[in-house]
Amino acid sequence: MIIARGLTVEAGIRTLVADASFALHPGDKVGLVGRNGAGKTTLLRTLAGRLEPLSGTIARSGVVGYLSQEASLPELDHPDSTGLERILGARNIGAVQRKLEDTRRRIEAAEGDERDRLIRRFARLEEEFEVAGGYRAEAEARRFGASIGVTNEEMAQPVRTMSGGQRRRVELARILFAETDVLLLDEPTNHLDLDAKAWLIEFLSTYSGCLLVVSHDLPLLDASITSVLSLEDGTLEPYRGNYSYFVAERERRREQRLRERKQQDRRIADLEATVRRFMGTTEKMSKRARSMQTRADRMKESLVEVTRRGRSVAVNFPKAEPSGRIPLEGKGLAKAFGDNVVFVDVDVHVERGECVMIIGLNGAGKTTLLRILAGVDTADIGEVTVGYHASLGYYAQEHEQIVPDLTVMDHMRAVAEGEPDVMLRSALGHFLLADKIDQAAGTLSGGEKTKLALAQLVVGRHNVLLLDEPTNNLDPQAKEALLGALDAYAGTLVLVSHDTDFVAELSPDRAVLMPDGNSVYFDESLLGLVALA
């Protein structure tokens, strides 16, 4: 259970939540909604105890599980902790398993008395592991992992070598495995395929603890929640019902407030008109006029607040200098991480003006291939050729290009050297970031970081864009704006995305199927594979 009283939360100089009070009880399933940058992620981190509020109190009871929107490398019990050990660590079993495995390896190399001592140590550890429910828990951890797309190979893979998406799936499995009383989940469906999303929706709908979830995945919200907390202009407003009901009820409440405000404004105008007519006439009428002015002033102090509809994101990629006919090509590409061979002998051939999708199941190497094509990583075998007049712009799904301590404006200056600040401010304004130019980028929400990264691409005037899950963390309006901009973009696109609606609207020309690297013409039959990505 979580109870907040008089809660005020700030980020930098901005007040994100002001004097809010609410409670989450067992069985409550609440969706926290609001535009990008409203403060949802910061509020969730505060409720989880990762940040301190400016004022107010938060009371927590039971085990709290928190899934961050970020996929940064977590603090590990052991530098070589595997995915399975990380998940088991949620019940303090992973460390015992690691000791068991280390002792087993030492037994194989030991002799004589030392071997006997290690065998006795192994027996003690095994007993400790069994008492903690280790073997049963291991099977359960594997089941949780498999349900959300963590493969057996990833279970055995060191966490430090995993991609952001792999780490985030492991962290989600860890939190769901942890037997929590409270779940605080920030965009839990990012990096999940269609089957994993369906399993998660079912799990959350039957979860007996209290749930607070931030998600732009509307089916998840509709199927799994029973109420909504709407965060807008620092105010939390509760709604009963699922997300679809909230959308309709929010508009109904706004229209009702608008009618009440118009009535108040009209009444105040009538009173003030009467004041002007009678003030300065007879003493008696002037006294009545002063009384009316007092009433009008009191009414102004209690006016119904009508929130403005949020401004829309405006994305427009400017026309860049055309590239040569083949702006990007990779030949014989291969990549492995230790013993994990991701792909071998992959060829990629991209022609000017094409939109090419990279498609494959989780772990097939889509992000790895895109990073190699972008020049961020290098292939173990093979080479990438950037064609004549090709200018590459890369969007990383984990916002790797965002430096936490650097300001928003400094990020723009870094990719548009020589451009006047007024132009950069204008570009940020299109992404609703103009009021954050002096803010450290690390304090932005996930959606705002996405918008900043896209703004950098806009001012970079690239003629080849490589985009890795660009719709993650974007609200529906911003996603629609991005789709329109990419649809009108005259350059070349290479894209990784699991968003089937987004991909269907974009209508790619070709697809590269990973891990084999086969190139095929794109048609609707491939959308099912996109959903499984």
| Span 231-246, pLDDT tens digits | 988 889 899 988 888 8
What is residue 110's predicted lDDT score, i.e. its pLDDT? 83
Q: Range with the lowest mean pLDDT among 2-6, 152-156, 208-212, 526-530?
A: 526-530
Residue 311 has pLDDT above 70, yes or no: no
pLDDT score, position 495: 94
* Percent share of the chain, pLDDT over 90: 32
415 band by pLDDT with thresholds 50, 70 and 90: confident
pLDDT value at residue 131: 73
Structure confidence by residue, pLDDT tens digits, 23-60: 999 999 999 988 877 889 889 999 999 889 989 999 99
What is the pLDDT of the chain when averaged over all its residues?
86
Check whether 306 has a pLDDT greater than 70: no
8 A C-beta contact, residue 218 and residue 21? no
The confidence band for 304, taking pLDDT boundaries of 50, 70 and 90, is low
Assess whether the previous peptide bond of 515 is cis (omega < 30° from 0).
yes
pLDDT at 212: 95
**Whether residue 310 has pLDDT greater than 70:** no
pLDDT single digits (tens) 14-23: 788 888 999 9
Residue 394 reports pLDDT greater than 90:
yes
Average pLDDT over residues 366-387: 93
Beta-carbon contacts of 337 under 8 Å, excluding residues fewer than 6 positions away, are 157, 161
Band of residue 339 on the pLDDT scale cut at 50, 70, 90: confident
- How buried is residue 110: exposed, middle or buried, by Cβ count under 10 Å (0-12/13-18/19+)? middle
Higher pLDDT, 355 or 112: 355
pLDDT digits (tens, 9 = 90+) for 121-155: 888 887 777 776 777 888 889 999 999 989 888 89
- Identify which has the larger pLDDT, 310 or 294: 294
Task: Tell whether the model's pLDDT for residue 461 goes beyond 80.
Answer: yes
477-532: pLDDT as tens digits: 788 888 888 888 889 999 999 888 889 998 899 999 999 999 999 988 888 888 76
Mean pLDDT of 300-309: 68
* Distances in whole angstroms, Cα of residue 114 to Cα of each of 28, 97, 312: 55, 21, 70
Q: Is the pLDDT of residue 315 over 80?
A: no
Environment class of 78 (CB within 10 Å of its CB; exposed 0-12, middle 13-18, buried 19+) = middle
CA distance 6 to 12: 19
Higher local confidence (pLDDT), 339 or 167: 167
What pLDDT is recorded for position 128?
77
pLDDT of res. 98: 73
Q: Is the per-residue pLDDT at 106 higher than 90?
A: no
Contact at 8 Å (CB) between 355 and 509? Answer: yes
Q: Is the pLDDT of residue 309 over 60?
A: no
DSSP letters spanning 8-70: EEEETTEEEEEEEEEEE-TT-EEEEE--TTSSHHHHHHHHTTSS--SEEEEEE-S-EEEE-S-
> Residue 300's pLDDT band (boundaries 50, 70, 90)?
confident
- In order of 85, 239, 348, 395, the CA distances from 508 in angstroms are 40, 40, 15, 18
Angle among Cα 298, 302, 305 to the nearest 5 degrees reads 150
